[in-house]
Structure 1
């Protein structure tokens, strides 16, 4: 296996980690307006991801940086062609992070309500847009002989790509509902489980349709196997949730997210961005890659740094593993007064 193939796999792993972790993160953000009934319950939901949401985004930075260094032509074509959607994702991630920290800096109801709306919309839009973006990458876009995207913004919005966006949105929200049931106690835990069942059934139908379309369009034996794992794991996650096995349900929903991502990358390989104008102009792992020396240096750096990051993030999840509920939210915190550490540092 050539180093450019290895780095294609590593980038797929980074995106898998990002969607697994940020997926439930986005889902919880959506649930702040869907599941939570009042400000105290919204605070409970925010506290479930408060210690980890920023660490989850490290996987996105790593995936983007690895793509830039290992496949510069892929990075340039992707970020120039998808400039407006990716800019919207970036703005949402910035506003979302600010909202987590600034929501409770002032006690006024209007101030907090506006930041809560920001958390909701800036979780919902990226969850949808990532599905649209990856559906376009796998299906192919209008790339010319100069390796530049020649289409327009509306060309990125097709029935297939919109289905991809809807699939990731509902799947991530289901992932977040299962995580909420796993991390909370009391009434909100029961309602999260009930909502997860409905979301899981919807996600199962959408994912099956999207993966079947992907398989018919570009699939092979590997992507078919990954798609089958995704569908079976999602059905198992819904079943485990119904039986109250929250740990199993969350684990299986995570397997679903990973399998869907794997199916997309397996269907894409050896291309990294297919051209719908002429297959000869497609970007591939070989013609879009950096030099072998660059890839070799990157491999050594990744082998040293990646285990440290994974161990540290795993330790963070272990420290903040306990369940929380409305009884853990002090009255002053519920109305907006916070300690020096900001909204996400509230006492558990």
Structure 2
């Protein structure tokens, strides 16, 4: 199959197709991780996005069922320099080509991923059309011009019904905006008793299980579109210990009166340095976000900056000065990526047990 990538600025990249024959329209982004393509593609936070992988070989260790971050691929497409059709891994049950085909997701390879990344870095993330079913450039342009990208995927990415995962520790109600399974695993390791709730759950419904804490999950889309969730979070700010990750961090910022902004091309990869002001230590973190919290917007809200990105100095975390509330923009559960910042889950458990802030 011949493949075509058409960008909204008129740029054209051509290569070979793999996966499912299909045409997708989405936001073109790049990810710098050297491993973890399976976790990345199944991360619900990538809903609506087409991922350009900067690492030149994708699929070399195949597909292992235990590595999924959700039940399906959420990304709208994948772009790679080279694809491995004969993986080497005793756990592999599929090739990446077969996997994308079964999941009905299109892909392109033999692409100039370096040139695509340089374009995104220069001009920012942009709308694109990915096709591996032989459409013309004129058809791709028309489709790109006529399609408006959705920004509220967090409303449908998570669970549709309340789910209970039993544990013997603190009771956690989770507002599921598109949670990764590895986050649940970190909470389960700490024996938390977990209740997952869908997007439109009210504060009263969250409190109905008598939780010890509230967790705000990661998820896709623009945080400004999550107005219903923001209103419900506001009702719980002085009621429960709260921990937010990624989208959860952004919604928490809005709930306390702060704001977010769209980044030029975001942070997506497993090698981003972050400084923790409380410990005085730096961590290498896994990240996936296209929006960030405006640090000046939280200055008079009771929150203070707790983490800073060492590459571009953007805000990566915050905590409340007196309430048991904190959040981070990066992914302490990693998957893929390093486990440097998994201590944040211990902080949350400490708060739920009523100990001093960050004891």
TM range (shorter): under 0.3
Decide which structure has greater strand share: 2
Decide which structure has greater helix share: 1
Length-normalised TM-score, structure 1:
0.23
Length-normalised TM-score, structure 2:
0.23
* Greater RCO structure (CA 8 Å; 6+ sep): 1
